[in-house]
A and B are shown apart, each in its own frame.
Chain A
C-alpha cells in the first residue's frame, strides 16, 4: 500500500447530442450512428451494450477524438469535443483502453505507466515516483520491471488501466477490453476495475456485448439498437458499491438480467435478419 495516494480530480460529464456518423467507403454511404443522444453524469459508470458491429465503437472513437462525426455535438464538461467539420484531437483527459490492448511492448510496465506523465512534461523522477506509488496502490509493483510480453492478458489489462489513471483523465473509455478473456480471468479483472473505479470515481464509458459484464459493472446500462446505432433503452443499475461477485446470484440481478436480455435479444434478432437479407 502506498503511503499517499494520488489525488483525483472530479468532472467528466459527457453529453452526446444528436450524433450521426456516416461512413463513406467506396462512395456508398453507410450510416453507423443515427441521431444518438446520451448524457453521462460525472463519475458515472456507463456501459453501452449492443450487437457486434452496431456502431458502439464509432461513438467511443468520436469521444476519444480519433475521428469526426457527420452531425451533432459531443461535449465534455461543457467543452466542445466533436462536431461536424471539426477535426477532433485526442487528449489525456479521455484515455482509451483498447480492445486488443495497447501497452507498448518495447517498454516495461513502469515505462508504460510513466509514458503519459513524461510526454506531458513532468520530469522523469516525478513520473517514476507517481508511477511506483500508483503501481503499489494497485498491487502491481512487483511486475514494474517486466515487459508486457511476459504478462498474462489479465495482468496486461490491469497495467493498461493503471497507465490510463495516472494521467487523472476525466473519462476512461474502454472498448470491449475483456473480450478475448476466459471467464476466470475476466472475473478477476472485473474486480480490479471495480476496485479502481470505487477509488477514483472517474466517468467510465465501457463498451461490451457481454450482458452479464454490463450489469455487474455498470451504474447505467445503455442498450443500443442494431446498426445504425441509436439508444434503445437506458437501464439504471442501482446495486450498491462496492460490488462483489456474489451479486450475480441475487434476485434483483436476475430480474434485471432478464429485462436486458429481452431488449438485446430483439436487436440481435434484427441484426441477424438484416444480415440474412444482405446475403439473399
Chain B
C-alpha cells in the first residue's frame, strides 16, 4: 500500500494572522489605518464641510443662508443643559424621539427580513414562483413610498401601523430582490455538485441556496434598513406625533431651526449604527467570505 505524503497545511500569506490574538490583530489594523492617508483625507473633508457651513451661515451670513442655523448655534443648543427649544443631549425628549424612530425601523426591518428573505429565496429556487411574483414586484417597486401614504392610511388601522408599513414596504423590496439576485448568483456547478452528492430538494435549499445567497442577503438587509429609515422619516413627517422625522417637521413649523439640524445629524448617526450592526452580524455569520481571497 502506498503511503500518502502528508501535505503541509498551506502557508497562506494571511495564515500568520490567524494565530494572532484579537487584540493584537486590532492593534495592527489600527496602526495600519492611522498610517494610511485615508483617515486624514476624510477628516479634512468633514472639517471643510463644517467650515463651509460656518462661513456661509454665521461668519458671512450669505443671503439665502442667513436664516439657517450655523454650527455654533446648533452645537450650543445641542450641548445645553437648558436648551432654548427643549431638545439637547440632556433632554429626555430627544432620546424618546430616537427610541420611537428606532423601534419603528426595527419592526419594519424585522418584517421585511422575515418575509423578504424567504420570498427571495423561493423566487430564486423555483422558476414557477419567480414567474408569479417577479412581475408584481417589478411593477410595485418603482412606486415611491410616499405615493403609498394615502393607501396606507386607508388600508391600515391605527396611527402607528401605517408608518411602520411604509418603512417596511421600502425595505421589503430591497431585501426580496437582493435575496433573489443572491440565489441567481450561485454558480450552477454548486447545484450539480449538491445533486451528485445525493441531495434532496430540501438539502439543496438549506445547504446551497440559503448559504450561497448570504452575501447578497446581507447587502439587501443593509440597503433595506437604509431605505426603511428614509421612508420612515417621510412617513413621520406626514403623520406622526413622535420620532425624528416628526421632530424635524415640527421644529420647522415652529421655526426652531437648530433642532432641525440636530435631528438630521442624529438620523445620520443612528442610520449608520444600524447598518454597521448588520454588517458586523453579517461578518460573524460569513467568516468564509472574510477570510477568502489570497
Contact of A119 among B6, B200, B212, B287 (CB under 8 A): B200
Asked if B198 and A91 sit within 8 Å, CB to CB, the answer is yes
Contact A102 B187 (CB under 8 A): yes
Whether B270 sits at the interface, judged by CB under 8 Å, is no
Given contacts A92-B196, A116-B197, A158-B7, contact A242 B2 (CB under 8 A): yes
Q: Are B292 and A147 in touch, CB under 8 angstroms?
A: yes
What's the Cα separation between A138 and B4 when bound, in Å?
A: 6
Is the beta-carbon distance between A116 and B198 smaller than 8 angstroms?
yes
Cβ A102 vs Cβ B3 within 8 A: no
A150 & B10 in contact (Cβ 8 Å cutoff) = yes
User: Are A106 and B196 CB-contacts (below 8 A) given A138-B4, A147-B288, A151-B10?
Assistant: no
* Interface core residue of A105, A142, A151 (most chain B CB under 10 Å): A105
Q: Is B66 an interface residue (CB 8 A)?
A: no
CB distance from B293 to the nearest CB of A (A): 6
Binds A, one of B35-43, B137-145, B203-211, B255-263: B203-211
Question: Which chain B residues lie closer than 8 Å to A115 at the CB level?
Answer: 194, 197, 207
Stretch of A74-82, A93-101, A220-228, A230-238 contacting B (4+ beta carbons < 8 Å): A93-101
- Inter-chain CA distance A167–B195, complex, in Å, is 13
B212→A120 contact, CB < 8 A? no
Report the minimal beta-carbon distance from B291 to chain A, rounded to whole angstroms: 5
Interface residue ranges of B181-208 to A (CB < 8 Å): 187, 189-190, 192-200, 203, 207-208
CB distance from A222 to the nearest CB of B (A): 22
CA distance A186 to B217 in the complex (A): 37
**For residue B189, which residues in chain A have a CB less than 8 angstroms away from its CB?**
98-102
Alpha-carbon distance A137/B4, docked complex (angstroms) = 7
* Residues in chain A near residue B7, CB distance under 8 A: 139-140, 155, 158, 188, 192
A150 B195 Cβ-Cβ under 8 A = no
- With A102-B187, A105-B288, A139-B4 as contacts: A96 and B12 at CB distance below 8 Å: no
When the two chains form the complex, which single residue of B193, B195, B291 contacts A149, counting CB atoms closer than 8 Å?
B291
Number of interface residues of B (CB under 8 A): 39
Task: Check if A119 sits within 8 Å of B196, measured CB to CB.
Answer: no
> What B residues does A158 contact at CB under 8 A?
7
Beyond A94-B196, A150-B292, whether A102 also contacts B6 by CB under 8 A is no
A72 to B188, CA, bound (A): 27
- Which residues in window 30-83 of B have CB below 8 A to A? none
Contact flag A90-B192 (CB < 8 Å), given A106-B214, A116-B198: yes
For the complex of A and B, the 5 pairs showing the least CB-CB separation, nearest first, are A149-B292, A102-B193, A92-B198, A106-B211, A139-B6
- Assembled-state Cα–Cα distance A195/B4 (Å): 7
**A64 close to B (CB within 8 Å):** yes
How many contacting A-B pairs (Cβ < 8 A)?
A: 115
Q: Which residue of B lies closest to A242 (CB)?
A: B2
Assess A98 versus B192: contact at CB under 8 Å? Given A106-B286, A152-B10: yes
The A-contacting residues of B in range 206-244, CB under 8 angstroms, are: 207-208, 211-212, 214
10 of the cross-chain contacts (CB-CB < 8 Å) are: A64-B196, A66-B192, A90-B196, A92-B196, A116-B198, A119-B198, A119-B203, A149-B294, A150-B291, A199-B2
Cross-chain contact A150 with B4 (CB below 8 angstroms): no
**Bound-complex Cα distance A142 to B10 (A):** 9
CA distance A243 to B200 in the complex (A): 39
State whether the Cβ of A143 lies closer than 8 Å to any Cβ in chain B: yes
A residues whose Cβ falls under 8 Å from a Cβ of B: 1, 64-66, 90-92, 94-96, 98-102, 104-107, 115-116, 119-120, 137-140, 142-143, 146-152, 155, 158, 163-164, 167, 188, 191-192, 195, 198-199, 242
Residue of B nearest to A91 (CB): B198
Residues of A within 8 A of B288 (CB): 105-107, 147-149
Docked Cα-Cα span, A170 to B293, in Å, equals: 35
> CA separation between A101 and B203, bound complex, in Å?
20
In the bound assembly, the distance between CA atoms of A245 and B222 in angstroms comes to 53
Determine if B9 and A167 form an interchain contact, defined as CB atoms under 8 angstroms apart. Answer: no
| Residues in chain A near residue B84, CB distance under 8 A | none
Known contacts A151-B10, A199-B1, A102 near B192 by CB under 8 Å: yes
CA A254 to CA B179, docked complex, whole Å: 55
CB distance from B8 to the nearest CB of A (A): 8
* A119–B197 CB distance below 8 A: yes
By the criterion CB–CB under 8 Å, are B12 and A150 in contact? yes
Given contacts A66-B192, A95-B197, A150-B294, contact A155 B10 (CB under 8 A): yes
Q: Chain A residue with minimal CB distance to B203?
A: A119
Q: How far is the CA of A243 from the CA of B254 in the complex (A)?
A: 88
Set of chain A residues within 8 Å of B9, measured between Cβ atoms: 142-143, 146
A227 to B214, CA, bound (A): 40
A120 to B200 Cα, complex, angstroms: 9
A52 to B269, CA, bound (A): 56
Give the distance in Å from the alpha carbon of A264 to the alpha carbon of B3 in the complex.
Answer: 35
Does B15 count as interface, using CB distance less than 8 angstroms? Answer: yes
Which residue from chain B places its CB closest to the CB of A106 in the assembled complex? B211
Expressed in whole angstroms, the Cα–Cα distance for A1 and B3 within the complex equals 9
Q: In this assembly, does B5 line the interface, its C-beta being within 8 Å of a C-beta of chain A? A: yes
Across the interface, B193 reaches (CB within 8 A) one of A65, A96, A152, A188, namely A96
